[in-house]
Amino acid sequence: MKPLSAKIAAIGFCLLFFVSTAFPKAAISKLVISNGKLARSAEVTDSRLMQSSNPWFGKFIPAWNQAPRQSIAKPPAGTPRYKISFYASFLPGKPPHVVYVAYYTFDPSTHQGFVYLPGTHGWEYSTNAGSIMRPNQDGRWNLADSGWCKQINEIISRSVVR
């Protein structure tokens, strides 16, 4: 007869396997960029940008899986803040819904983009935590990937109020 701990470990492994295969991470189907200097929201479906914007595997925050070694300076107060809503559908045939929310700003003087991931207060954190939790990055500004910033900045520049 196997020890109880071996049985518990086997059951835990099976549950983890079945849950992870039953609820795979969905591909991001669109981004909606709003606020800032935009006249109206910009809806984006470019597949290359969707891949890099994926909250689970994307590269929009380069060090997403590493605890920051030092504090990141906040972006300048005068830069416009844009809300980015990430949409996906977990079930075939169901319309996409918001699965992640972040805020974006760009400092033109340093050519650096920043992404703010909402902290533990409010619906945005609840939405994000339902997808992925980043305890070392939630509730603070994070440096954004320069290639991702370039794509986002191009979309914003086409949609900005002049």
3-state secondary structure of 94: coil
d(CA 118, CA 124): 6
**Sheet containing 82-88: order of strands:** 42-44, 28-35, 82-88, 97-107, 112-117, 140-143
Tokens of 51: 């891949």
d(CA 32, CA 54): 13
pLDDT at 136: 78
Rounded to two decimals, the pTM is 0.80
pLDDT at 82: 97
Percent of the chain whose pLDDT exceeds 70: 78
Task: Choose between 15 and 75: higher pLDDT.
Answer: 75
Span 127-156, mean pLDDT?
90
Look up the CATH number of domain 25-159: 2.60.40
Domain ranges of the chain: 25-159
d(CA 149, CA 79): 14
Span 42-68, mean pLDDT?
84
- How would residue 93 be classed by pLDDT, with cut points 50, 70 and 90? confident
Q: Are 31 and 38 in contact (CB under 8 A)?
A: no
Residue 120 CB: number of other CB atoms within 10 A? 11
- How would residue 17 be classed by pLDDT, with cut points 50, 70 and 90? very low
Give the strand pairing for 112-117 and 82-88.
Answer: unpaired
